């Protein structure tokens, strides 16, 4: 199994840090190892941003790594450095190499900066005759500050130049002490020296700029030198004399120390290089520039890839996650190195709850700030969302890379809101990472937050809409919602190739129930009826409450179906049973049905048509006798459909209810909107269709089971369905 090391560092885009990383990767690749690099996209004093960034380190599964290299000085924040060090001490069971001067608690490796600072100082003494020099070093509590100061003193001692205490200044490795020193020299508080030897380039650049602001010229009035050999020192005006230590070699040495700790085998790096003194104008040298091997800025590429591509606009214009992901992957060219197109792979991994907190019923602060979900989701370009265990750190495609590679992990977050992390993998490439990628990641972070806010606003708008179009008592849509539902309703009907139907239902006499039992009983009745509607309507029908006791059902059914009648039948039966169970006086349930040919075509007409249908339902007052016999009629109807082979007739049905045939015919028609003879006829034919599709019975056998003789069955079936039973069976089976 391929070994893999972890690297924790910041600001990989800075040339010094990139060179450190290149040295590590060169040695790792040479020994068939890969690397996971955990880096920050930004450092800020803002606590919420710090939380979002530091969350990245919770993804580290030390069981998948063989060793760790920690580069604390690539992180600008001392708090970051100390917290990560504590994290490693408490959680990491692996060998750890710390790039720095400290010897505890991990094994450490560092530059030969004492001898290199001595070389700079010797150059000023021998080439420029400097005798009175100031050393501006770093913090007094840092050993690296004392090490570089020691190199300065070594050179003075070798040249028999005394080192006066007032010429040693402990600074901050930043701009402020350098600016103070320039002000003291310009104001005459401190005598102007021959030269100032700065312990890093940042202080040297700040000192030059501040001296010029106070009217002093470098190198005419005094010489300034730096240390580190950064690109900023090279492009500064005047260019800064500095020492380019071998950052790459430091990286090589760090890996070799880790390799020894991992394997017990001590080996030399496959390559060794010494640093270079870069003599430039800030010390008065005019020798030809020394090639530094640094990657130069390509301003034209930056302009083309960032100013002309409208990346922010395109990402912020996406109105859903899949569109955002496609746009993101299409925009990878803004950071991709042309030479590495076939060697890189980028992917976005989101927490399952990345947009949690978007819903109105969720607390504004109820979102993830610590850790990641146990299952992460790889967002693929084609719209597929592939889950993988967080413990794997990377999705399968990246973990199966069979050549040495480096994978960069960066946190995807907005302030302290954790979305997930991004991965960028290079196969057999050591210098692919650049500043464009971090800018790209920040754009992704901001655009994801914008999309999350959009989703939250849509959710809130939908929630507000529901409060307007939903009946608060029953939860059903109200009549005002009809225009909102209409377009979807019509499209669904057309898509299914079915016929539309409407059913208007009205419970009358509610005032009598209120007078007898109170409004609470009446409200419970309406809520129960609404629940019955939703239970009965199991084929996607829309249920609405249109008034105190008025309801609407919008549905669809296949041609020649009587599904709408069955809905009414089931609703009336359940409503009757509910009232009987409570011992209440039965309230009439009136209804009216409208079929497709009378449906309005425009949403503007829908509400008017609904009100007209409700008026029709209320006008069809049921009789008391119909209500009295309804339970028996419903039971009889179920028997007809359950036993279609029986010899049903109007007379036998009336006899079962102990009423006359004419009276039975009238109340049956009134109760169900269809005659008993039609139901008998329909039950037999529906049973025949079932037998044709689901049995191998002959046509003669099917006719007998349905109560027909053969010839009558053939004629009736063809008349009803426009095809013979044989054609029906063949067509459905073959289709």
Q: What is the pTM of this model?
A: 0.60
Domain identity same for 373 and 437: yes
Task: Identify any residues that bridge with 592 across adjacent strands, giving them in sequence order.
Answer: 504
**Of 456, 490, 511, which closes a domain?**
456
Domain identity same for 479 and 446: no
Q: Does the residue 301 lie in any domain?
A: no
132 CB neighbour count, 10 Å cutoff = 13
Contact between 553 and 502 (Cβ < 8 Å)? yes
* CATH value at residue 183: 3.40.50.2300
DSSP 77-104: -HHHHHHHHHHHHHH--S-EEEESS--S
Q: Does the residue 251 lie in any domain?
A: no
Q: Identify the three-state secondary structure at position 299.
A: helix
Tokens of 8: 């924790």
DSSP 147-178: HHHHHHHHHHHHTT----GGGEEE--SSSHHH
Q: Identify the three-state secondary structure at position 383.
A: coil
Say which residues have a Cβ less than 8 Å from residue 348's Cβ, sequence separation at least 6: 325, 328, 378, 379, 412, 420, 422, 423, 444
* CATH value at residue 675: 1.10.10.60
**Of 559, 588, 622, which closes a domain?**
622
Range of 141's domain? 113-244+268-283
Domain identity same for 100 and 124: no
Q: Does the residue 161 lie in any domain?
A: yes
Domain identity same for 590 and 562: yes
Domain identity same for 98 and 158: no
**Of 622, 656, 672, which closes a domain?**
622
Sign for the CA dihedral angle at 143, 148, 149, 154 comes to positive
pLDDT of residue 324: 92
Domain identity same for 84 and 44: yes
Domain identity same for 13 and 99: yes
Q: Does the residue 258 lie in any domain?
A: no
Q: Does the residue 467 lie in any domain?
A: no
Domain count, the chain: 4
Domain identity same for 478 and 449: no
Give the integer Cα–Cα distance in Å for 483 and 278.
77
Domain identity same for 612 and 650: no
Say which residues have a Cβ less than 8 Å from residue 53's Cβ, sequence separation at least 6: 40, 41, 42, 43, 44, 411, 413
Give the integer Cα–Cα distance in Å for 593 and 564.
8
Domain identity same for 85 and 231: no
* CATH value at residue 583: 3.30.70.270
Mean pLDDT by 10 residues, the chain (735 residues): 90 87 95 93 72 87 95 83 90 93 82 91 96 96 91 96 95 94 96 96 97 96 94 93 90 94 90 90 78 48 59 87 91 81 90 72 65 92 88 88 91 90 93 85 92 84 71 87 84 85 89 80 91 88 91 88 82 82 78 78 81 88 56 84 85 82 80 85 88 89 87 89 88 65
What number of CA atoms fall less than 13 Å from residue 184's CA on the CB side?
15
- The torsion angles phi and psi of 134, rounded to 5 degrees, stand at -105, 140
Within 497-645, residue ranges assigned H as helices are 510-517, 519-536, 563-582, 603-619, 624-628, 630-642
Q: Does the residue 292 lie in any domain?
A: no
Say which residues have a Cβ less than 8 Å from residue 585's Cβ, sequence separation at least 6: 512, 513, 516, 579
Domain identity same for 87 and 223: no
Domain identity same for 534 and 568: yes
Q: Does the residue 628 lie in any domain?
A: no
Q: Does the residue 155 lie in any domain?
A: yes
């Amino acid at each position: 199994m391929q070994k893999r090391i972890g690297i924790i560092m910041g600001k990989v885009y800075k040339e010094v840090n990139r060179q450190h990383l290149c040295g590590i990767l060169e040695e790792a690749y040479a020994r068939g190892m890969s690397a996971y690099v955990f880096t920050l996209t930004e450092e800020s004093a803002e606590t919420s941003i710090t939380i979002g960034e530091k969350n990245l380190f919770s993804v580290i599964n030390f069981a998948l790594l063989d060793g760790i290299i920690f580069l604390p000085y690539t992180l600008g924040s001392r708090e970051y450095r100390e917290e990560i060090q504590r994290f490693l001490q408490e959680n990491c069971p692996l060998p750890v190499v710390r790039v720095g001067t400290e010897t505890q608690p991990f094994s450490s490796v560092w530059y030969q900066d004492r001898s290199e600072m001595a070389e700079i100082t010797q150059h000023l003494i021998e080439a420029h005759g400097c005798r009175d020099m100031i050393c501006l070093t770093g913090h007094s509590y840092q050993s690296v500050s004392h090490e570089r100061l020691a190199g300065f003193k070594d050179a003075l001692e070798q040249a028999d130049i005394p080192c006066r205490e007032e010429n040693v200044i402990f600074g901050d490795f930043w701009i402020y002490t350098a600016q103070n020193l320039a002000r003291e020299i310009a104001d005459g508080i401190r005598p102007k020296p021959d030269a100032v030897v700065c312990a890093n380039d940042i202080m040297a650049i700040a000192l030059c700029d501040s001296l010029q602001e106070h009217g002093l010229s470098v190198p005419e009035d005094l010489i300034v030198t730096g240390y580190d050999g950064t690109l900023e020192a090279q492009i500064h005006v005047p260019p800064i004399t500095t020492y380019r230590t071998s950052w790459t070699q430091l990286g090589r040495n760090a890996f070799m120390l880790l390799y020894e700790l991992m394997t017990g085998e001590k080996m030399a790096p496959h390559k060794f290089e010494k640093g270079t003194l870069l003599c430039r104008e800030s010390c008065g040298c005019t020798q030809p520039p020394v090639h530094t091997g640094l990657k130069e800025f390509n301003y034209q590429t930056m302009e083309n890839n960032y100013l002309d591509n409208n990346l922010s606009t395109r990402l912020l214009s996406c109105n859903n996650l899949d569109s955002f992901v496609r746009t993101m992957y299409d925009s990878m060219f803004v950071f991709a190195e042309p030479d590495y197109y076939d060697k890189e792979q980028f992917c976005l991994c989101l927490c399952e709850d990345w947009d949690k907190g978007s819903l109105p019923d969720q607390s504004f602060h109820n979102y993830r700030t610590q850790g990641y979900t146990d299952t992460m989701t790889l967002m693929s370009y084609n719209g597929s969302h592939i889950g993988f265990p967080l413990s794997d750190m990377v999705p399968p495609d990246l973990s199966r890379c069979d050549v040495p590679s480096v994978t960069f992990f960066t946190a995807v977050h907005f302030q302290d809101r954790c979305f997930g992390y991004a991965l960028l993998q290079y196969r057999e490439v050591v210098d692919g990472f650049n500043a464009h990628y971090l800018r790209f990641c920040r754009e992704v972070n901001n655009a994801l937050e914008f999309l999350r806010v959009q989703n939250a606003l849509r959710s809130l708008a939908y929630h507000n809409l529901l409060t307007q179009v939903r009946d608060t008592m029953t939860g059903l849509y109200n009549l005002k919602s009809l225009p909102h539902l209409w377009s979807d309703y019509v499209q669904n009907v057309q898509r299914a190739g079915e016929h539309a139907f409407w059913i208007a239902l009205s419970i009358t006499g509610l005032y009598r129930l209120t007078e007898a039992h109170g409004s609470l009983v009446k409200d419970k009745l309406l809520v129960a009826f609404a629940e019955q509607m939703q239970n009965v309507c199991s084929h996607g029908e829309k249920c609405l409450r249109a008034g105190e006791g008025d309801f609407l059902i919008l549905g669809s059914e296949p041609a020649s179906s009587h599904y709408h009648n069955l809905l009414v039948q089931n609703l009336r039966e359940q409503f009757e049973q509910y009232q009987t169970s409570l011992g209440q006086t039965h309230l009439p349930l009136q209804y009216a049905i409208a079929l497709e040919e009378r449906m309005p075509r425009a949403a503007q007409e829908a509400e008017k048509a609904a009100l007209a249908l409700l008026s029709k339902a209320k006008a069809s007052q049921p009789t008391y006798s119909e209500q009295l016999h309804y339970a028996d009629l419903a039971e009889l109807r179920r028997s007809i459909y359950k036993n279609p082979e029986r010899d049903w007739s109007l007379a036998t049905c009336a006899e079962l209810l102990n009423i006359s045939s004419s009276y039975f015919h009238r109340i049956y028609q009134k109760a169900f909107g269809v005659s008993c003879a039609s139901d008998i006829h329909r039950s037999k034919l529906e049973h025949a269709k079932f037998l044709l599709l689901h049995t191998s019975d002959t046509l003669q056998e099917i006719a007998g089971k349905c109560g027909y003789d053969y010839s009558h069955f053939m004629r009736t079936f063809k008349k009803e369905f426009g095809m013979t039973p044989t054609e029906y069976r063949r067509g459905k089976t073959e289709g």
